[in-house]
Structure 1
Amino acid sequence: MNRLLCLIGILLLGLPLTSCAPQKRIWYLQDITPQTPEQIAQNGQIRIKPLDRLTIVVNSQDPELAVPFNTSSSFSSLSGTPSTTSGKESLQIYTVDENGRIAMPVIGVIDCEGLTRTELADRIARKIIDGGYINDPSVNVRFADMKISVIGEVTRPGVFEIDRDKISIFDALALAGDMTVYGVRNEVVVARETNGVRTFEILDLTSKEIFNSPAFYLQQNDVVYVKPNKYKAQAGEISQNRSFYLSLVGTAISLATLIITLTK
């Protein structure tokens, strides 16, 4: 009896120590130092790629001058006249071709691959000015349908539309409701396609080195995958085996019942 009580005491004393390990597994940025300045990456903005779809609207102090550069519906919405459609459908949508170019009315073909929205807007405005069409063009460029996907051990996996120029891996996880406690935080996979090449980056969200990763800031059409930890995988396997054995037992009982019935 005394030996049993000693064993129970040892187990109880060890519980606080063993409980720290699972808790630490779900912490982000475990090695950060409070109040230590970190240089923020300046190259995290989303950049234009082939097959992106863009809405481009040109305006001016004299709206009549901008008409040739826009559809009639987009001009109506800018000039204050009620438009027959609203939202993205009322804007001219340009699809970037495989060579990273778009063809605009009047000013022709423009190279835009690798540019940010602001850089493309500046390039279009410069071509309009240099061509002598408008002295004060105002150009607004937006992505028509920019998405990322978050799958795996998150609360709300799915495809999410992005309406900002810079989105980090933490922003993406926030959109998906954060990881579950079963997500592996030091092996998050980001799958990315660039110029016909698919790459995979492994991110360790428990370390501040994550901020230096080229995949910390996501690009359009990136896929974020959060792997389940071994406990979730084992639970799934046990559940699957349990279902199999229950089915096997049920079949055996049915077969035994049938045999007993036939032998009566």
Structure 2
Amino acid sequence: MLSSCGSSKEVVYFQDLKPGESEITLPEVQTITVQPEDKISIIVNSRDPQLTNLFNLPYISKQLGNTSQISSSNNQGVSGYTVDAEGNIDFPVLGKVHVAGLKREEIAEHIKNELVTKNLVKDPVVTVEFMNLCVSVMGEVNNPGRFSIDRDQMTILDALSMAGDLTIYGNRQKVLVLRQENGQQRVYGVNLTSGEHVYTSPAYYLQQNDVVYVEPNNVRARQSTVNGNNVRSTSFWISLASLLTSVAILIFN
């Protein structure tokens, strides 16, 4: 009984949602913007490959990334630009380009306009991709780790799905999202058992470097003790019952 996994109210997601009846106004979409220390790839193409090669970094043969969770297949062999502390990158021919706070398509549009305005390329096609942007998922999930951001909007549900969902011991009523904002560490709580709470949370859309932490529930807390023998553990009560039985036998005999 002490090891039971709890009632369905502690396990089932989105308990307040009913098919065909529930409507929730989603928060404003938060598209990921580039920040200092982010790494991005920028590729310029046109009808004149020799001309556009002047604006592309050389290809490299080594694989980017060193963890199995972070996929680099989209950027394999492509050199990238690391955004400096002032939010700039050093782009070939154009020089310093400010990209911090911009979305991918905004960066592409800005560089395209610069190339056309300065009469460097007549018909450029600029592609911008994320390279080292990721989120971390920790705690009671089946596959904790760091996961790459490969889209402009990434939700907490996306991150938990990539981590293999919560284990049966995860506290679905208290999932934490740790985020650095304006030099401060902020912590958001998300209750996965309430659809309205999930979809209206300011942490529904994740940002790069967010940490998602799933707390263990009471069952896991009872199982995980310092020495396996305190008052919250099942083994403690079994040992105590055995001791009392032995004492009783000795007394009555």
- List aligned pairs for 1:41-52, cutoff 5 A: 41-52=27-38
Distance 1:147 1:118 in 2: 19
Which residue of the partner structure matches residue 13 of structure 2? 28
Greater shift in the superposed pair: 208-217 or 34-43? 34-43
Higher relative contact order (CA 8 A, sep 6+): 2
Distance 2:102 2:25 in 1: 23
Which residue of the partner structure matches residue 179 of structure 2? 192
Percent identity of paired positions between Structure 1 and Structure 2 = 41
Q: Cα deviations across residues 126-182 of structure 1 (Å, max 9, x unaligned)?
A: 111111111211111111122211111111111222322222111111111111121
CA drift of 1:113 comes to 1.5
* Aligned: 1:219 with 2:221: no
One-letter code of the match for 1:103? Answer: D
Which residue of the partner structure matches residue 137 of structure 2? 150
Q: Cα deviations across residues 31-53 of structure 1 (Å, max 9, x unaligned)?
A: 12322444444523222111001
3-state SS of the aligned residue for 2:127? strand
Distance 1:223 1:72, change over 3 A: closer
Distance 2:218 2:57 in 1: 55
Q: Cα deviations across residues 82-101 of structure 1 (Å, max 9, x unaligned)?
A: xxxx9645323111111222
Aligned length: 218
Which residue of the partner structure matches residue 114 of structure 2? 127
Which residue of the partner structure matches residue 128 of structure 2? 141
Distance 1:40 1:107 in 2: 40
Greater shift in the superposed pair: 180-189 or 155-164? 155-164
Which residue of the partner structure matches residue 93 of structure 2? 106
* Aligned: 1:165 with 2:158: no
CA drift of 1:209 comes to 2.4
Q: Report if aligned partners of 1:57, 1:92 keep a CA contact under 8 Å in 2.
A: no
CA drift of 1:72 comes to 4.2
Q: CA RMSD in A?
A: 2.8
Which residue of the partner structure matches residue 77 of structure 1? none
Q: Report if aligned partners of 2:45, 2:124 keep a CA contact under 8 Å in 1.
A: yes
Distance 2:118 2:102 in 1: 21
> Could you list the runs of 5+ residues in structure 1 that have no partner in the other structure?
1-18, 75-85, 250-264
**Which of 182, 192, 199 lines up with 2:169 in the alignment?**
182
Distance 1:28 1:62, change over 3 A: same
> Could you list the runs of 5+ residues in structure 2 that have no partner in the other structure?
61-72, 240-253
Distance 2:168 2:59 in 1: 49
One-letter code of the match for 1:62? Answer: D
Which residue of the partner structure matches residue 252 of structure 1? none
Which residue of the partner structure matches residue 55 of structure 1? 41
Q: Larger % of strand: which? A: 2
Distance 1:194 1:237 in 2: 34
